[in-house]
Amino acid sequence: MKQWALNQSLNHPKRTIIISLILTMLLSSGLWLVQMEDDMLKLLPDDIESTMTWEAVQEEFGNTNLMFVAFGRTGESVFNTQALSDLWTITNEIESLAEVDEVISIATLNRMDSDDGFMEVSDLQPAKDLTDVEVDRIRTYLEKTPDMMRRVVGTNGDFLNVVVRPVIDVASDKFRNNVVNTCNQNLQDYKVHFGGEVYLTGSIPMLMRGDVIRLMRIGLVVMILIMLSSLRSISAVAMVLSVIVMSLTSMMGFMGWIRHFTQLDIFYFSLMNTSMPIILLTIANSDGVHVITKFFSKLRLSGNVKESVEGTMNSLLLPIFLTSATTVVAFLSLSFAPIRQMMGYGITIGAGIIWAWILSATFLPSLIILKKWNLSSSAISKSNFIERVTDKFGSIVIHHPKKVLGAGVVVLGIGFWGLFLLNVEVNIITFFKPGTEIRDSLEFMDAEMTGTMDLQLRIQGDIKSPKTLNDMITFQDFLEKHPSTTTTISIADVIKQMHRTVMDDDPLYETIPDTRDKVNNLFTLYSISGDPDDFSSLVDYEYKTGLVTSLMKNMSTKKIVTFVDEIKAYASKHINSDLSITITGMLVIFNDLVHLLVKSSFISISVSIILIAIMAAVAFKRFHWGIMAVVPLSGAVIMNFGLMGVFGIHLSHITAILSSIIIGVGVDFALHYISQFRNLAARGVPDSEISQQVIHEVGYPIVLDAVSNMSFGALLFSVFLPVMHIGGLMVFAMVSTSIGTLTLLAALVEIFKKKLRQ
């Protein structure tokens, strides 16, 4: 097989190139079938408790994932005819959107009035155009009902709040875009702020993807410049780039085809797939750089192109195959992640890696054969700066292996210690840098309005029982003591309001009635004078399940955990034991999801390392080579997470998942090193020279590969923290795995070279 592939490239280069191009085009044609999916909610696993509770809540009470729109003019009271007229218009415009189930604002709320034994449920805002007297009447009513006021008017009275509830199963990006566009068209004379989880989940993917594409372009240019300055050959760089581009388009095309044929939603291109092109780019680049640099080094010695290509491929086919196979395994291990889409991610990137390997093993050598190389060019005849530095560095490592290993072990020890300091922490607001429009909006909503997040308590029991309703009130009082809670809403609030209204608007009766019959009478009264659908977001049809919603300011996952624990402790201590209380909401689900992802990422990393060790041991026919192969990447993983712990950088789902980059590239460097050592040992290179020669042969491509990929450190300049993490992780992965290979692995191999040669 190996010989056949080599024969195709060496003896039929044009045919090989044409076939490669045709196959690539066929695969890439699936690009048009790729479907984008920007709905982050579809990524949620459906088998964790908070998600199941959340789904039950959606089923019973409709979509609870709300969006908030605040508009007004700073310092100007909203209680004027123009503002309320505009509120009427925007409320109706938003209500008319197909993605919208309900809009809550002054324009849609009801008022309950009592006058001389007369009870009336009527519109709080009776019409679009109001008189000053009618505006005053609305203000007076809201001042009498401060809970209601808090939900629809900002704390300074200068912003109106519009709460928008999407229909169930709507795509959050589509919903968000339509609501935002409607507001921008109708509220041009006002300052407008948006908030709510559905707004964030609808905004992030689109904005983040745009940012990644912009910064990736910069990274790609920097990468090309680095490679050009190092390889000093435009043809060589173009050849590597052609492999990269063909691998990328093939991978994306494969994604389109497989989605088309399987119709599985795991093959949609979602937010998490944004990192896929970057990862494949680094891997395809690695294959190409190794082939080209090895070819240059052989050509420099032999002067014969065909012979050099043959020699290059003979020594690289196995390591490139192995690096590709192990990386595929690493990515397929993502199938164990709790998010189903990760399986699609692993399969797709796996296909891309395999195609990159095939192209590097056939298409690239064919291109090299066809090119007429100038043997006297500096690219071929002279070593470059990186080669010389790498040789010098290698010499130090080889001459002081024990000291290098000792230093490495100390550094690893620090990293290991840091692992115990790691914190899982995500705060959505910090996804956005201060000063950005979204960050400003979110901070405004937290400071002036009801916040941007919510938490739901699903209470199962006899909802008409005064005891249950009083428990709800007690719970709400407890929730409202938390500094992040802005207000709470439940059916108990409505009952209190109705009770007061029935009792001639006496404030003393703004309480839960003392008997079940009275509570029931109030429900009956409302059903005759108002629309019972008004309660559908608060209590289920059979009055067996109620919902307490706590509107919150933005919270970090760590604070959510503490708060949820406090709520559970409070419930078990103070609340009627007949009630079943479960807590959910996007805050809780997000927290659960992040923890699950982090946990599963660690499992995935461990499984990958073990599988890679086994594969390397089998390929190199020695157990110890399996161990050696995973030393640099294990060290890099420990350092990555350990240093995050030491420097107080919180572990998030993004950093955890993207650690697969370390696995993907880290193992490549080690396998190239080991393979070269075995080649030289087989050729009888003496002990005294073997390590130096290995570093001379593979050190340069490893460093060039790492340095060129570090150009994606450009992502560090993103406005989104998760994208910055990707950039930071790229840089760190390249530094740690290349240095790990050229220090830890090199030192170990040098110390144990006699035993390893056996």
Q: Which is nearer to another protein, 133 or 682 (CB)?
A: 133
Catalog residues that contact another protein under the rule CB under 8 A.
Answer: 59, 117-123, 464, 502-503, 513, 515-518, 520-522, 524-525, 527-533, 540-542
- Judge contact between 579 and 468, C-beta under 8 A: yes
Give, in order, the Cα–Cα distances in Å from 111 to each of 98, 114, 204. 27, 10, 37
State in angstroms the smallest separation of the CB of 69 from another protein. Answer: 24
Q: Which is nearer to another protein, 121 or 238 (CB)?
A: 121
- Judge contact between 310 and 6, C-beta under 8 A: yes
State in angstroms the smallest separation of the CB of 552 from another protein. Answer: 29
State in angstroms the smallest separation of the CB of 527 from another protein. Answer: 5
**Phi first, then psi: what are they for 526, rounded to 5°?**
-65, -35
Q: Quick one: which of 290, 368, 108 has its CA closest to 675? A: 290
- Helices 234-262 and 341-358: crossing angle in degrees, nearest 10, is 140
Q: Which is nearer to another protein, 417 or 541 (CB)?
A: 541
Instruction: Give the tokens for residue 384.
Output: 């470059």
Q: Which is nearer to another protein, 1 or 528 (CB)?
A: 528
Residue 153, strand partner residues = 160
State in angstroms the smallest separation of the CB of 500 from another protein. Answer: 12
State in angstroms the smallest separation of the CB of 502 from another protein. Answer: 6
Q: Which residues contact 558 (CB under 8 A, 6 or more apart)?
A: 423, 424, 425
- Judge contact between 242 and 360, C-beta under 8 A: no
State in angstroms the smallest separation of the CB of 108 from another protein. Answer: 12
Give the separation between CA 153 and CA 155, rounded to whole angstroms: 7
Q: Quick one: which of 145, 144, 142 has its CA closest to 125? A: 142
Q: Which is nearer to another protein, 11 or 515 (CB)?
A: 515
Instruction: Give the tokens for residue 108.
Output: 């849609």
Q: Which is nearer to another protein, 77 or 114 (CB)?
A: 114
State in angstroms the smallest separation of the CB of 122 from another protein. Answer: 5
Q: Which is nearer to another protein, 4 or 118 (CB)?
A: 118
**DSSP-assigned letter for residue 167:** P
Give the separation between CA 655 and CA 641, rounded to whole angstroms: 9
Give the separation between CA 321 and CA 644, rounded to whole angstroms: 33
**DSSP-assigned letter for residue 2:** H
State in angstroms the smallest separation of the CB of 147 from another protein. Answer: 23
Instruction: Give the tokens for residue 125.
Output: 């805002």
State in angstroms the smallest separation of the CB of 459 from another protein. Answer: 18
Q: Which is nearer to another protein, 543 or 620 (CB)?
A: 543
Q: Over 617-658, what HEC string results?
A: HHHCCCHHHHHHHHHHHHHHHHHHHHHHHHCCCCECHHHHHH
Q: Which is nearer to another protein, 59 or 565 (CB)?
A: 59
Query: The tokens 């130090």 sit on which residue?
Result: 396
Q: Which is nearer to another protein, 116 or 577 (CB)?
A: 116
**DSSP-assigned letter for residue 454:** E
Instruction: Give the tokens for residue 506.
Output: 């006496």
Give the number of C-alpha atoms closer than 13 A to the C-alpha of residue 643, restricted to the C-beta side.
Answer: 13
Q: Which is nearer to another protein, 502 or 723 (CB)?
A: 502
To 10 degrees, the CA torsion angle through 290, 291, 294, 296? -120
State in angstroms the smallest separation of the CB of 60 from another protein. Answer: 8
Query: The tokens 């008004």 sit on which residue?
Result: 534
Q: Which is nearer to another protein, 76 or 534 (CB)?
A: 534
Q: Is 371 helix (H, G, I), strand (E, B) or coil?
A: coil
Let me know how long the chain is: 758
Give the separation between CA 736 and CA 670, rounded to whole angstroms: 12
**DSSP-assigned letter for residue 577:** T
State in angstroms the smallest separation of the CB of 568 from another protein. Answer: 29
Where is 551: in which H helix or E strand? strand 545-552
Q: Which is nearer to another protein, 541 or 623 (CB)?
A: 541
Query: The tokens 């700073």 sit on which residue?
Result: 74
The DSSP bridge pattern shows strands 67-72 and 453-460 to be unpaired
Give the separation between CA 84 and CA 86, rounded to whole angstroms: 5
Where is 601: in which H helix or E strand? helix 586-619
State in angstroms the smallest separation of the CB of 545 from another protein. Answer: 11
Q: Which residues contact 285 (CB under 8 A, 6 or more apart)?
A: 223, 240, 244, 705, 708, 709
Give the separation between CA 554 and CA 562, rounded to whole angstroms: 14
Q: Quick one: which of 68, 62, 32, 103 has its CA closest to 259? A: 32
State in angstroms the smallest separation of the CB of 167 from another protein. Answer: 12
Give the separation between CA 243 and CA 358, rounded to whole angstroms: 10
Q: Which is nearer to another protein, 436 or 521 (CB)?
A: 521
Give, in order, the Cα–Cα distances in Å from 635 to each of 222, 410, 467, 709. 28, 11, 59, 20
Q: Which is nearer to another protein, 335 or 521 (CB)?
A: 521
Q: Which residues contact 147 (CB under 8 A, 6 or more apart)?
A: 487, 489, 493
State in angstroms the smallest separation of the CB of 516 from another protein. Answer: 7
State in angstroms the smallest separation of the CB of 663 from another protein. Answer: 47
State in angstroms the smallest separation of the CB of 250 from another protein. Answer: 47
Q: Which is nearer to another protein, 307 or 462 (CB)?
A: 462
State in angstroms the smallest separation of the CB of 63 from another protein. Answer: 14
Q: Which is nearer to another protein, 268 or 526 (CB)?
A: 526
Alpha helices in 263-275 (DSSP H): none
Q: Is 120 helix (H, G, I), strand (E, B) or coil?
A: strand
Q: Which is nearer to another protein, 56 or 735 (CB)?
A: 56
